[in-house]
């Protein structure tokens, strides 16, 4: 059980999360309104920014594991990210904006495996899912506050002031984590879990090899084969498809809503969605114990709900309410997927591959950014939402294959 002294560092993530919630949408507003970017430009900015996370998280993850220190990556990452955000208003072209947001992503990537490993190495395995959910609740709550700030001030403050505020918030997180974060010492928790799985496999094989008849009712032969060749390939395919679909519909969504509502109203819709997703993190770690069931539920429900984003086209108050409700449901599903997929991967990942999960999600996000921008521009948003629903169906099929066969593992 983690003590308060080893988990209070998570509070230091909140200022940067507020900055995230404010800037994620604000960058697209800046692109559309100041640089007069197209939907293709929206896809490029979101896609390239996400793509920059892919190799970055792999490299940063290996460095964190090899150095066995998390605090330097958190501090340096947030300082660099804050500086990059404050520089965004000075980007006078789409090309310069692409360079700045890519740099921001590379520096932000340093913090992702560091915070995940600091969480799991501060908890015993039984508390991983709750620890990850609590961390994600705090960061999601911060993003919700950031969207609330945007709703309140986007009509009165300029881009320069808003991006500067976000940059200062990132620096505040760097300072707070420099004081609050405590290194876990020897990073051993994931190694213990790996050892536990290895011992369990040896015992199962020994039992079957030594007493095949006696063990027939306790250790089926296919369980032994599954223990010897555990595979996460279908889990990874499902994670990729789910992330691809999420980024494809979410990245151009501000542009979609701006067709019907003001900037302030669009911020409000995203604020409601983010608020619902934040609250969901509170219950996920406590009520939903099966990672496999959570992934199946989230992919199936998202597949059904996604096309309902078309209700936002109703405009006026009914469309605004419908859009907020649908986005809230989708954010809740993302929260459920986020914690469960992270838990499922970290429980089975080999040491030194902590950044692979984030890189895979980043690859899906990058592909979704490109796909969302291009597809919505060429075939329209209705076709895009249907395509994303199909991708969720693919994720569902991958999760069913992973957890319904011999290699399912998360409890």
pLDDT tens, position by position, 173-228: 999 988 887 776 554 444 434 433 333 333 333 333 333 443 344 444 334 334 33
Q: Which domain holds residue 150?
A: 12-180+226-404
In a domain, 353, yes or no: yes
Instruction: Count how many domains the chain has.
Output: 1
In a domain, 210, yes or no: no
Does the pLDDT value for residue 42 go beyond 60?
A: yes
In a domain, 1, yes or no: no
In a domain, 202, yes or no: no
Total length of the chain: 411
Domain CATH for 287 = 1.20.1250.20
Residue where the block lists tokens 């011999």:
406
Does the pLDDT value for residue 160 go beyond 70?
A: yes
In a domain, 155, yes or no: yes
Summarize the confidence of residues 330-347 as an average pLDDT: 80
φ and ψ of 351, to 5 deg:
-60, 135
In a domain, 199, yes or no: no
In a domain, 204, yes or no: no
Q: How far apart are CA 89 and CA 95, in angstroms?
A: 13
φ and ψ of 320, to 5 deg:
-65, -45
In this prediction, residue 125 carries a pLDDT of 55
pLDDT tens, position by position, 47-68: 888 888 777 777 887 788 777 7
Summarize the confidence of residues 237-242 as an average pLDDT: 89
Burial of 126 (0-12, 13-18, 19+ CB in 10 A): exposed
In a domain, 197, yes or no: no
Higher-confidence position of 241 and 346:
241
Contacts 24+ apart (CB under 8 A), 388-391: 388/245, 388/246, 388/248, 388/249, 388/306, 389/245, 389/302, 389/303, 389/304, 389/306, 389/307, 390/303, 391/241, 391/242, 391/244, 391/245, 391/248
């Amino acid at each position: 059980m983690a003590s308060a002294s080893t988990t209070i560092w998570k509070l230091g993530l909140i200022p940067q999360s507020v900055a995230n919630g404010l800037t994620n949408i604000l960058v697209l507003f800046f692109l559309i309104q100041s640089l007069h970017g197209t939907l293709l430009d929206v896809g490029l900015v979101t896609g390239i920014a996400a793509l920059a996370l892919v190799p970055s998280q792999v490299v940063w993850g290996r460095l964190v594991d090899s150095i066995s220190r998390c605090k330097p990556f958190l501090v340096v990452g947030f300082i660099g990210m804050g500086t990059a955000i404050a520089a965004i208003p000075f980007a006078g072209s789409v090309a310069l904006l692409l360079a700045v947001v890519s740099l921001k992503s590379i520096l932000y990537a340093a913090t992702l495996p560091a915070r995940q490993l600091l969480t799991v190495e501060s908890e015993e395995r039984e508390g991983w899912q709750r620890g990850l959910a609590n961390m994600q609740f705090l960061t999601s709550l911060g993003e919700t506050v950031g969207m609330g700030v945007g709703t309140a001030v986007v009509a009165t403050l300029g881009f320069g002031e808003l991006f500067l505020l976000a940059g200062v918030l990132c620096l505040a997180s760097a300072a707070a984590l420099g004081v609050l974060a405590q290194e876990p010492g020897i990073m051993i928790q994931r190694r213990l879990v790996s050892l536990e799985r290895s011992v369990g496999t040896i015992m199962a094989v020994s039992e079957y090899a030594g007493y095949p008849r006696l063990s027939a009712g306790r250790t089926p032969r296919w369980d032994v084969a599954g223990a010897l060749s555990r595979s996460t390939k279908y889990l990874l395919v499902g994670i990729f498809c789910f992330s691809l679909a999420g980024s494809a519909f979410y990245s151009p969504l501000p542009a979609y809503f701006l067709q019907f509502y003001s900037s302030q109203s669009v911020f409000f819709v995203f604020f409601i969605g983010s608020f619902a997703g934040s609250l969901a993190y509170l219950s996920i770690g406590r009520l939903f114990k099966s990672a496999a069931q959570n992934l199946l539920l989230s992919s199936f429900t998202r597949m059904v709900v996604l096309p309902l984003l078309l209700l936002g086209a109703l405009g006026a108050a009914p469309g605004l309410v419908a859009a907020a409700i649908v986005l809230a449901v989708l954010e809740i599903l993302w929260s459920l997927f986020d914690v469960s997929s992270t838990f499922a991967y970290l429980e089975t990942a080999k040491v030194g591959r902590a950044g692979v999960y984030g890189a895979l999600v980043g690859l899906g996000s990058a592909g979704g950014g490109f796909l969302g921008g291009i597809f919505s521009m060429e075939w329209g948003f209705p076709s895009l939402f249907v395509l994303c629903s199909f991708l969720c169906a693919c994720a569902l099929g991958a999760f069913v294959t992973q957890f319904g066969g011999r290699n399912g593992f998360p409890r």
